[in-house]
Amino acid sequence: MNDKPILPGNWLGLLGGGQLGKMFAQAASTMGYKVCVLEPDQNAPAAIVSAKHLAHPYTDETALSELASLCQTVTTEFENVPASSLRFLASKGILTCPNANAVAITQDRFDEKSFVASTEAPVAPHLLIESEEDCNKATAPYFPAILKTARLGYDGKGQITVNDRRELVEAFLKLNKVRCVLEKRLPLAKEVSVIAARNRLGEVAVFPVSENQHERGILAVSIMPARIDDKTAEQARQIAARIIEKLDYVGVLCTELFVLADGRLVVNELAPRPHNSGHATIDACVSSQYEQQVRTMANLPLGSVEQVRCSVMLNLLGDLWFDENEQIREPEWNKLLDIPGLKLHLYGKKEPRHARKMGHLTCIAETADEALFKAQMAAQILGLKIPQ
C-alpha cells in the first residue's frame, strides 16, 4: 500500500459527470487539484467545472488509459460505474477509491445485504428471488414485502410492494424475471443516513446522522442532525464506521438505515459515493463530504466532521420549472434568496425534466427549529410540500 500523499497541483480522476461529481470537482479545485472526468455526456455538470473532460463511455479502454496517464488515483460519483473499469485502472497501477470489489458488492442488493449481515449489522428479513420456484420459499412471515431488482434500481425504481405469494409471482414476472431480493416491510418511524469517510491509512471520520424524507421514492428533505435520541444516533454512526472498515473501503460511503417503530435500527442499503443526504455538509460542517472525498483519494488526513450549524436541505427537482400548463419557466430565485441563511446550489443541467435533480437548497441556523422554519418558508415559495 502506497501511503505517500498526493499533494495539491496533481490530477485527480473522476468516473461520472453528474452533480455529485461537480461538487467533488469544485472541492478539489478549491484545494488546488486538477480534475479529469470521464463521462460520455458533453454537457454533464462535472464536465463544466473540471480541467479536462474525456467524453467517452466508462468502458472505453483508450479513454481509461488516458485517464490513468494523468492521474494517480480515480474516484466515482455514482454507484453503477462498471466495476470492470475500476479493475482496468487498478491493472495500470491506479489507486481507485473505492476499489472494484467494494463497488461490486454494493451494486447487487443481495450481495450487499449478505455483506452487511456479515458485519453483524442488522438487516431486514430477505430472500433471493431468481426463479418462480424461489417465490415458493416466501412464506407468510416474509409478507408484506417489497420485491426489488438486485441491480440498477434507484430512487424507488425497480421496486414493487407485494402482500402474498401470488402478488410476488406477478411482480417477479413484471420485473422480467431478473435477479431480485424480497425484503420484508417493517414498521418504520424514520429513515436516516450516515456518511463516513476512510483513507488508505485506515482513518475513519463519520458525519452526524441525517433524517430523510422521500416523495415518490426520491429524497426530498434531509434534516441534520436527525431528530433521534443520542443513543440511537451513536449506534447508527458505529454501524457506518464498522461497515466502511469491514469493506476495506477507501473513499466516502453512505449507509442508509431505518429507525423502526420500536426504536431498533436496520440497515437498508449502501451508496458507494457521496450522497444527496450529505449535501448540507457543504454549508453546515467544517469539512464537506466532497472535501473528505478529495482527502481520502489523496491520502491526506481527514477533515473535521463537526457540524457548526443546524441544517435542512431541500431537493429541487425539475418539476419546479413547469407551470400548470407544462410550460417551462424559471422559479423565483429572488424571493427564495431573500431568506437569511438560505444557500442555493444549482447543478447547471441544461434541460429540466420531471423528477430530475436540478439542484438543492440548504437552510442553516443556530437551532434546528429555526432551520426548519426557514425551510418551510422556502417550500411555501416554491410550492413544495412543507417538511414536518
> Whose CA is closest to 74, among 54, 57, 56, 90?
90
C-beta separation of 40 from 55 below 8 A: yes
- Under-50 pLDDT residues of the chain: 1
Beta-carbon count within 10 A of 139 CB: 9
Measured CA to CA, the distance from residue 287 to residue 307 in angstroms comes to 9
Res 216: pLDDT: 86
Please state, in angstroms and as integers, the Cα–Cα distance from residue 263 to each residue in 110, 188, 231, 238, 318, following that order. Answer: 25, 9, 10, 16, 35
pTM here is: 0.94
Res 153: pLDDT: 63
pLDDT per position as a tens digit, 188-231: 999 999 999 999 999 999 999 999 999 988 999 999 999 999 99
Beta-carbon contacts of 269 under 8 Å, excluding residues fewer than 6 positions away, are 106, 109, 112, 256
- Looking at residue 134, its amino acid is D
Beta strand pairing status for 251-260 and 34-38? unpaired
pLDDT per position as a tens digit, 163-177: 999 999 999 999 999
Res 354: pLDDT: 95
pLDDT per position as a tens digit, 45-97: 999 999 999 999 999 999 999 999 999 999 999 888 888 999 999 999 999 99
Res 155: pLDDT: 55
Res 83: pLDDT: 87
Measured CA to CA, the distance from residue 74 to residue 63 in angstroms comes to 13
Q: Please give, one letter per residue, the 3-state secondary structure of the chain.
A: CCCCCCCCCCEEEEECCCHHHHHHHHHHHHCCCEEEEECCCCCCHHHHHCCEEECCCCCCHHHHHHHHHHCCEEEECCCCCCHHHHHHHHHCCCEEECCHHHHHHHCCHHHHHHHHHHCCCCECCEEEECCHHHHCCCCHHHCCEEEEECCCCCCCCCEEEECCHHHHHHHHHHCCCCCEEEEECCCEEEEEEEEEEECCCCCEEECCCEEEEEECCEEEEEEECCCCCHHHHHHHHHHHHHHHHHCCCCEEEEEEEEEECCCCEEEEEEECCCCHHHCCHHHHECCCHHHHHHHHHCCCCCCCCCECCEEEEEEEEHHHHECCCCCECCCCHHHHCCCCCEEEEECCCCCCCCCCEEEEEEEEECCHHHHHHHHHHHHHHHCCCCCC
Beta strand pairing status for 204-206 and 145-149? unpaired
> Whose CA is closest to 312, among 264, 371, 366, 260?
371
The full set of domains in the chain, from first to last, is 11-97 (3.40.50.20), 125-184 (3.30.1490.20), 188-382 (3.30.470.20)
Beta-carbon count within 10 A of 93 CB: 9
